[in-house]
Amino acid sequence: MRPHRAFVPIIQPELELGGREAHHLLDVLRARVGDTLTVFDGKGTEGRARVVQTELGRVRLEVEGTWPASKEPPHPVTLYVALLKGDHLAEVVRAATELGASTIVPVLTQHCVVRELSENKLLRLRRVALEAAKQCGRSVVPEVRPLLPLKQIPLVAQGLVAQPRTSTRVRQVWDPQRPTALLTGPEGGLSGDEVRLLEQRGFIPVTLGPRILRAETAPVVLLSLITAGEGV
């Protein structure tokens, strides 16, 4: 069984956990004095820690060693994903974290059914990213940024946008030695003007196959081709 994992903002020789992390260790995992676990700071460092004291809502740890983790893609991957209905955006954030995205940016496009991202929803998406990072063994928690209008997307060094009406495949144009930006549209797709704008910003339209994918499936497939498909 692999060690339990806990997030801490800063790894120090002695740590005290409270809130969600302490609740999870005490009430869900039933941690006891003497148990060991892995702590990570969300920025690329992990450590081995031992439980030295437990009390109501608090857990004290002693860190026995730290190391830099090496589970990230060699170059950052930013995922721009259009606002989606229901809880689909949270599902995308969870999967994108598991697949190695370094940054996730919700985007407002012309055909988005949902038109805003509340502060509470943004905070929840960030919690989803944190929990997914703990589950999948990542030491870096991807940044989930506030909502960005499509027209404000910056120029990118290398970008791929999923488009059903193109024949260009990812492997034909993607350079694994450069940072990558990926973008997928909403349930209603991207307009022609939006695709042209993205091309001006450095994005190349690519196909995800002959079938029309759901808006929550497309970002996972596109990201998989870059990370899981290449083993990075």
Q: What is the pLDDT of residue 180?
A: 97
Q: Which CATH number fits domain 4-68: 3.40.50.150, 3.40.50.720, 3.40.50.800, 2.40.240.20?
A: 2.40.240.20
> Given this model, what pLDDT does residue 168 score?
95
DSSP state of 26: I
What's the pLDDT at 2?
57
Overall pTM surpassing 0.85 (yes/no): yes
What residue ranges do the domains of the chain occupy? 4-68, 77-226
DSSP state of 36: E
CATH topology of domain 77-226: Alpha/beta knot (3.40.1280)
In this prediction, residue 1 carries a pLDDT of: 45
Q: What is the pLDDT along the chain (232 residues), one digit of tens a residue?
A: 456 889 999 999 999 999 888 888 888 888 889 999 999 999 999 999 999 999 888 999 999 999 998 788 889 999 999 999 999 999 999 999 999 999 999 999 999 999 999 999 999 999 999 999 999 989 999 999 999 999 999 999 999 999 988 999 999 999 999 999 999 999 999 999 999 999 999 999 999 999 999 999 999 999 999 998 665 5
